[in-house]
Amino acid sequence: MKLPARRAHGFFLSVLLGAALFSGCATGPQLLPESFLENMAVSQFAQMKQEMPVSQNPVHVEQVERIGARLAAAVAEEMPDMEWEFVVFDDPSINAFAMPGGKVGVFSGLIELSESDDELAVVIGHEIAHVQQRHANQRLSAELIRMGLGVAVAYGATRQDQVDPNLVMAAYGLGTQVGVMLPFGRHHEYEADYKGLLIMARAGYDPYAAVTFWEKMEAASDRGSVPEYLSTHPAPGNRIARLKAAIPEALREQEHAEAQAFLRERGLVEE
Ligand SMILES: [Zn+2]
Mean pLDDT of 56-72: 97
Element (H, E) at 131: helix 117-132
Q: Ligand 1: distance of its center to the CA of 137 in Å?
A: 14
Residue 258 lies in a domain: yes
Task: Kindly tell me if the per-residue pLDDT of 6 is higher than 90.
Answer: no
Query: Could you tell me what percent of the chain has a pLDDT over 90?
Result: 47
Contacts of 223 by beta carbon, 8 Å cutoff, 6+ apart? none
Strands 85-89 and 96-99: unpaired
CA distance 213 to 124: 12
Q: Is 104 strand, coil or helix?
A: strand
Q: Please say whether the beta carbons of 134 and 32 come within 8 A.
A: no
Number of domains in the chain: 1
Task: Return the closest-CA partner of residue 45 out of 75, 84, 72, 78.
Answer: 84
Task: Return the closest-CA partner of residue 242 out of 172, 199, 187.
Answer: 187
Task: Kindly tell me if the per-residue pLDDT of 28 is higher than 50.
Answer: yes
Residue 227 lies in a domain: yes
- Specify the amino acid at residue 28: G
Phi/psi of residue 99, each to 5°?
A: -125, 160
Catalytically active residues, by annotation? 127
| Domain range enclosing 97 | 5-20+28-265
Bridge partners (DSSP) listed for residue 103 = 85, 99
Q: Ligand 1: distance of its center to the CA of 58 in Å?
A: 26
Residue 76 lies in a domain: yes
Task: Return the closest-CA partner of residue 193 out of 255, 237, 153, 156.
Answer: 237
Higher confidence at residue 85 or residue 176? 85
- Give the tens place of pLDDT for each residue, 181-223: 667 888 889 999 999 999 999 999 999 999 999 999 888 888 7
Residue 10 lies in a domain: yes
- Give the tens place of pLDDT for each residue, 91-146: 998 889 999 999 999 999 999 999 899 999 999 999 999 999 998 888 877 777 77
- Specify the amino acid at residue 16: L
Q: Ligand 1: distance of its center to the CA of 56 in Å?
A: 26
State the pLDDT confidence band at 39, using cuts at 50, 70 and 90.
confident
Element (H, E) at 200: helix 186-202
Residue 207 lies in a domain: yes
pLDDT in the model for residue 255 = 96
pLDDT in the model for residue 20 = 33
CA distance 19 to 154: 13
Q: Ligand 1: distance of its center to the CA of 59 in Å?
A: 25
What average pLDDT does the structure give for the chain?
A: 80
Q: Please say whether the beta carbons of 135 and 10 come within 8 A.
A: no
Residue 271 lies in a domain: no
pLDDT in the model for residue 159 = 54
Neighbours of 75 (CB within 10 A): 22
Q: Please say whether the beta carbons of 204 and 262 come within 8 A.
A: no
Mean pLDDT of 23-27: 42
Q: Ligand 1: distance of its center to the CA of 200 in Å?
A: 15
Q: Please say whether the beta carbons of 143 and 133 come within 8 A.
A: no
pLDDT in the model for residue 148 = 66
User: pTM for the full model?
Assistant: 0.80
Q: Ligand 1: distance of its center to the CA of 176 in Å?
A: 20
What is the Cα 23 distance to its own chain's centre?
A: 18
Residue 200 lies in a domain: yes
Task: Kindly tell me if the per-residue pLDDT of 9 is higher than 70.
Answer: no
Mean pLDDT of 27-33: 73
Q: Ligand 1: distance of its center to the CA of 234 in Å?
A: 9
What is the Cα 138 distance to its own chain's centre?
A: 12
Task: Return the closest-CA partner of residue 32 out of 129, 159, 146, 147.
Answer: 159
b/e code 120-150 from CB counts within 10 Å (16+ = b): bbbbbbbbbbbbbbbbbbbbbbbbbbeeebb
Mean pLDDT of 168-176: 54
